[in-house]
Amino acid sequence: MALAACGAENAVPAAAPPSASSAGAAPNADESLSFLSGTAKSNNAEPKTGDWATGSDGTLNTAKQDVAKKWVQLRAAEAGTLDPVVVNGAGLTLYRFDKDTAKPSKSTCNGECAKTWPPVLVTPGSKVFLAGIKKAAVGTVKRDDGSLQITIGGWPVYRFAKDTKPGQTQGQGVGGTWFGIAPTGQKAPERNAPAETAQPEQPAQPDLTPATSATLFDGKNFSDNEPSQGVAGKGCQNVPRPAVTSSISVSGSLKLWTEKDCKGKSVVVNGDVADLGSIGFDNALRSVFFS
């Protein structure tokens, strides 16, 4: 799943770096998790589970560890001056640590460090809700205590205990080694600052699998602060609440139309689009075509 930016019909977004596969990563890590397109809210996740099991102070009660591991959400968003940065289901900013490694994946934050920087943990079978993050970029790494930690682009992912509200980025730059994590696993760029230069990767073949469903968000960046709606089926499907969609989360490819019954202006997208305005479709989506 990708932050797609398709400027013309049949446009396909650039491929993301493949997920890490190494001695440090759990074997078949991706296959051990259940990936779902969209946010936890749009997928009707159970209240007080997953990322929502986190207390208002940003801490996690040990007794709720198993409940918290039922699901995690990875959503591309804005937080503070970081754009884009990955946030969890509670809207809390997620981070990476320079003393870890991505190739192979290795977490070095343990003990007292892990109390300040709680790792994002899962178990085999955990659900992972993705909005603006490619599935191929997500994996797991086995920590020293045997638990499984989510990785993005091979980098182990953490929260910061002092971030207690959505939008906070108090962990950014701490010790010169902690930084918000971008949807690719790189350091999240700050507005008006150059993004981290990506290391060359072997190009991956884009996934052109036709989509069968999509989640449409009224706000940009798959925001749960505004309503969302689902659309699914075969062939042409009219949008239930037209003219309000600003972002779309979808696994696979589909065609968007500006008029009902798949008429008017159209564009093919392949994967998530965080801002439909970037392709001239903000609040202009009336129907979609699944093929």
Q: How confident is the model at residue 26 (pLDDT cuts 50, 70, 90)?
A: very low
Q: 151 and 40, same structural domain? A: yes
pLDDT at 60 over 70: no
Q: Which residues 6+ apart lie within 8 Å of 246 measured at CB?
A: 217, 218, 219, 220, 275, 276, 277, 282, 283
Q: How far apart are the first and last CA of the chain?
A: 18
Of 266, 283, 287, 247, nearest to 2 by C-alpha is 247
In a domain, 141, yes or no: yes
Q: 251 and 128, same structural domain? A: no
Q: 51 and 131, same structural domain? A: yes
In a domain, 80, yes or no: yes
Q: 141 and 247, same structural domain? A: no
Whether 1 contacts 259, CB under 8 Å: no
In a domain, 91, yes or no: yes
| pLDDT given at position 31 | 75
Task: State which amino acid sits at residue 163.
Answer: D
In a domain, 193, yes or no: no
Query: How many domains is the chain built from?
Result: 2
- Locus of tokens 């809207």: 91
Q: 275 and 145, same structural domain? A: no
Q: In whole angstroms, what separates CA 39 from the centre of its chain?
A: 9
Q: How confident is the model at residue 208 (pLDDT cuts 50, 70, 90)?
A: confident
In a domain, 167, yes or no: yes
Q: 227 and 175, same structural domain? A: no
- The domain in which residue 283 lies consists of 213-290
Task: Dump pLDDT digits (tens) for 246-288.
Answer: 999 999 999 999 999 999 999 999 999 999 999 999 999 999 9
In a domain, 202, yes or no: no
231: CATH: 2.60.20.10
Residue 155: C-alpha distances to residues 45, 108, 113, 137, 178 (Å)? 26, 11, 16, 10, 12
In a domain, 14, yes or no: no
Q: pTM for the full model?
A: 0.83
Instruction: Enumerate helices (H) and strands (E) in the chain, giving the number of each.
Output: 2, 19
- What are the structure tokens assigned to 203, written together? 């190009």
